[in-house]
Amino acid sequence: MKLLPSFRSKSLFDREDSARIVEAIRDTEKQTSGEIRVFIESRCRFVDPLDRAAEIFWSLKMDHTVYRNSVLLYVAVKDHQFAIFADTGIHQKLGNEFWQNEVKLMSAHFRENHYRDAVLKCIEDTGRALREQFPYDPKADKNELPDDIVFGK
C-alpha cells in the first residue's frame, strides 16, 4: 500500500509517540498470547512492501511463536509504502478481509498525516482480534518477542 504524505523514519515518531506505541503493544500483549511488532525503515528493497514485510518478519523470527500468531506493521518511509504481515495462525482465523480493512484504515490516517494514530489504531484493532482468537492464559503465556519499535536503514 502506498503512503501519500512525505516523512522521515527517525523523525516519524518523537520520543513520546514512540513510548505510546510501545506501551500500546505491551498493554495489548497482556491480554493475548499474540505478538505485535512495528518496523520502520527509509526504503523498501522490493517492489511489493508485503514481500519486504515477509522478509523482515522471518528475519525477526516472528514465525517462531508457539501459536503462530504474531503480526508485523511495516513502514518504508521514503518510498511511501507500508504493509501488515500476519503469521499463519492469526491469518487463518481472520482472513484477507480483516487485513485489507486495516490497510485501508491506516492509509486514511496516513493521508491525514496522523502517523502515530494509524499505528495505534492498527495495534488496537489487531489486539482486539488477537484477544478474541488467542486469549491470554496466565499459566502458559509469555512475551515471546521484544515490544520495541525496530528502525531499519
Residue 2 lies in a domain: no
Residue 86 lies in a domain: yes
Give the CATH number of the domain where residue 122 resides.
3.10.310.50
Residue 3 lies in a domain: no
Band the pLDDT of 153: cuts 50, 70, 90: confident
Three cell numbers at 54?
515477509
Between the alpha carbon of residue 70 and those of residues 17, 20, 79, 86, 146, the distances in Å are 22, 20, 25, 6, 12
**Which domain, by its residues, includes 147?**
9-151
Give pLDDT, residue 24: 98
Give pLDDT, residue 84: 97
Mean pLDDT, residues 132-146: 93
Reported pTM: 0.91
Residue 4 lies in a domain: no
CB atoms within 10 A of CB 66: 13
Residue 80 lies in a domain: yes
The structural domain count of the chain equals 1
Residue 128 lies in a domain: yes
Residue 1 lies in a domain: no
Angle at which helices 115-133 and 88-111 pack, to 10 degrees? Answer: 160
Taking only the tens place, the pLDDT of each residue in 47-99 is 899 999 999 999 999 999 999 999 999 999 888 899 999 999 999 999 999 99
Residue 17 lies in a domain: yes
Between the alpha carbon of residue 43 and those of residues 21, 67, 77, 80, 96, the distances in Å are 21, 31, 6, 8, 25
Give pLDDT, residue 140: 87
Give pLDDT, residue 11: 61
